[in-house]
Amino acid sequence: MLTQDAPPSAEPRMKITAKDVHCYFGPVHAIKGITFAMPEHSVVAIIGPSGCGKSTFLRSINRMHELVPNSRITGTLALDGEDIYGMDAVVVRKRIGMVFQKPNPFPTMSIFDNVAAGLRMNGMRDKKRITEIVERSLQQAALWNEVKDSLSKSGVSLSGGQQQRLCIARTLAVSPEVILMDEPASALDPISTAKIEELIYELKKEYTIAIVTHNMQQAARVSDHTAFFYMGELVEYDVTKKIFTVPAKKQTEDYITGRFG
Amino acid sequence: MERHFQRDLEQLKSNVIKMGSLVEQNLADALEAVLKNDATTASKVISADGAVNKMEIEIDNGVVDLLALQQPVASDLRLILAIQKINNDLERIGDHAVNIAESAYRLVETPQEEPLLEIPNMAKIAKEMFQQALDAFIHLNAQLAQSVLESDDRMDALNRGMNSQVIRMIKKDQKTLEGGLELLRISRNLERVADLTTNIAEEVIFHTQARIVKHHATEKG
């Protein structure tokens, strides 16, 4: 018999809240009225078939959607209750970091400089402080032990999995509060994927994480809450265990059991 | 980097060991109640069963969590499947301990004290088998598990022997009818405890060696 987890005694603080969010690419209505909230220090997975709007929604959280020509967004997205679209976009992207599908270290920079780049761009000049933050970020990204003796080597000399952890270290260096991950392990082998997943599990102690993934098993393994998107709509959002054992909606059940369509 | 799944799996295993210790204590108390004609200890066993049932549900939920969310494979999968069955076996051994305690309770109230016949011997073997099965699970020791399987035949023989001994006892003195029936119930419960303990040992062999030994299955190409 399955029992639902008992509700937590204190309501967790909501880090990101979305209210009736609609996103458009020209005439295309990609996101249709998404409303949900991401609890602080937790991992939310967004799953759904290709074209369901999960990446678009993720990109609307740190205001990357608006960089696409002819794009438009309505509704409210808030970080700690403050309207994200009323804030300076640069500040938003500093507080809400992003890791992409394909590892994208700066190709001309060393491992050290890749991690330090964001700090320097923000005007930090104190070399000792930069060194401290680079080391801490690489440690948090579980990469320090592998690169501590080769910090001056090029970032692209690393393996794919290491490059992705380097990109995570680069994101962590500027002390974001939220990390958005768009398919962060889909280009990696199973061992590197397991490392990234373990890293996500560890990072949620200090950060709030949203991860878009095609891999439902990955969503099950790493997330606390799961949102199922379909054709731009949020079909179901609940505790991950519930989504993967007793989903409330038939569409969710059909998708996670592979009976879709 | 250790996967948090491994920690969760270790936690699940340690919960099974905790439940095993609880059941072991209840079984020992139930048998002590019979051997010492002690109603107080019998009552203690009956009231302690709720904790065992609660742990069974907790472990069931842990199994569902790991199966649904972590997609275990190979030895991890076999361990989780073994845990699911051992959990069920332990809960049922707990129920048999309660049955034995209830018989002990009724034996205290029977007008005359019957000889316990083979019960002390069976109790000793059942406790040893249970302890060995639990140790085999804790240390994932297939050899120890194998020795549990070998003890089961002795228990079956003793149980059959009890039937004829009790019939003889009742025929000789009809006043022993009530007590004799309780002794048969205890014997039957102990025989079932040994069977379930054998199941636990079989699950340990399945997990450690991926061998199916139940129903006297033999390995064939």
State which H helix or E strand residue A101 sits in: none
Could you tell me which chain A residue has the CA closest to the CA of B58?
A: A3
Q: Provide the 3-class DSSP secondary structure of residue A96.
A: strand
The count of C-alpha atoms lying within 13 angstroms of the C-alpha of A114, restricted to the half-sphere facing its C-beta, is 31
Q: Which of A190-194, B19-23, B198-202 has the lowest mean pLDDT?
A: A190-194
- Contacting residues of B for A197, CB less than 8 Å apart: 3
The answer to whether position A4 is within a domain reads: no
Q: So what's the pLDDT on residue A3?
A: 44
Angle at CA of residue A216, ends A214 and A219, nearest 5°: 100
Q: What is the CATH number of the domain that holds B151?
A: 1.20.58.220
Give the C-alpha separation, A234 to A231, whole Å: 8
Over range A9-16, report the average pLDDT: 83
Is the model's pLDDT at A28 over the cut of 90?
A: yes
The answer to whether position A7 is within a domain reads: no
Q: So what's the pLDDT on residue B221?
A: 38
Is the model's pLDDT at A261 over the cut of 60?
A: no
Q: So what's the pLDDT on residue A4?
A: 46
Report the side by side order of strands in the sheet with A96-99: A96-99, A178-182, A208-212, A43-47, A225-230, A233-239
CA distances from B51 to A60, B20, B26, B193 (A): 50, 12, 11, 19
The answer to whether position A125 is within a domain reads: yes
ipTM of the complex: 0.80
pLDDT bracket for residue B212 (50, 70, 90): confident
The answer to whether position B221 is within a domain reads: no
Q: So what's the pLDDT on residue A184?
A: 93
Interface of A with B (CB under 8 A): 1-3, 142, 194-195, 197-199, 201, 217, 220-221, 240-241, 244-245
- Contacting residues of B for A196, CB less than 8 Å apart: none
Is the model's pLDDT at A5 over the cut of 80?
A: no
B60/A1 Cβ within 8 A: yes
Give the C-alpha separation, B66 to B61, whole Å: 9
Report the side by side order of strands in the sheet with A28-39: A28-39, A14-25, A71-79, A82-83
- Contacting residues of B for A253, CB less than 8 Å apart: none
Q: So what's the pLDDT on residue A6?
A: 47
Q: Report yes or no: B5 at the A interface, CB cutoff 8 Å.
A: yes
Interacting residues of A41 by C-beta distance below 8 A, sequence separation 6+: A12, A15, A204, A205, A206, A207, A208
Query: Are the CB atoms for B29 and B104 separated by under 8 Å?
Result: no
Closest CA to A194 of B59, B71, B21: B71
State which H helix or E strand residue B38 sits in: none
Q: What is the CATH number of the domain that holds A72?
A: 3.40.50.300
pLDDT in tens, B154-191: 999 999 999 999 999 999 999 999 999 999 999 999 99
Interacting residues of B179 by C-beta distance below 8 A, sequence separation 6+: B107, B110, B112, B113, B114
The answer to whether position B28 is within a domain reads: yes
Q: Which residues pair with A110 in a beta bridge?
A: A154
A201/B61 Cβ within 8 A: no
The answer to whether position A246 is within a domain reads: yes
Q: So what's the pLDDT on residue A12?
A: 84
Q: So what's the pLDDT on residue A25?
A: 95
B71/A198 Cβ within 8 A: no
pLDDT in tens, B99-156: 999 999 999 988 777 789 999 999 999 999 999 999 999 999 999 999 999 999 999 9
Chain B 43-62, CB below 8 Å of chain A: which residues?
57, 60-61
The answer to whether position A130 is within a domain reads: yes
> CB neighbours (10 Å) of residue A97?
24
Give the C-alpha separation, A3 to A5, whole Å: 6
B71/A221 Cβ within 8 A: yes
Query: Are the CB atoms for B37 and B113 separated by under 8 Å?
Result: yes
Specify the higher pLDDT residue, A3 or A115.
Answer: A115
The answer to whether position B150 is within a domain reads: yes
Query: Are the CB atoms for A237 and A228 separated by under 8 Å?
Result: yes
Query: Are the CB atoms for B103 and B186 separated by under 8 Å?
Result: yes
pLDDT bracket for residue A233 (50, 70, 90): very high
- Contacting residues of B for A199, CB less than 8 Å apart: 1
Interacting residues of A239 by C-beta distance below 8 A, sequence separation 6+: A4, A5, A224, A225, A226
Query: How many domains in chain A?
Result: 1
Helix axes A160-173, A127-140, angle to 10 degrees: 130
Is the pTM higher than 0.90? The answer reads no
Q: So what's the pLDDT on residue A251?
A: 95
- Contacting residues of B for A217, CB less than 8 Å apart: 71
B61/A220 Cβ within 8 A: no
pLDDT in tens, A82-130: 999 999 999 999 999 999 989 999 999 999 999 999 999 989 999 999 9
Q: So what's the pLDDT on residue A17?
A: 97
Which residues span the domain enclosing B114? 4-216
Which residues span the domain enclosing A28? 14-256
Query: How many domains in chain B?
Result: 1
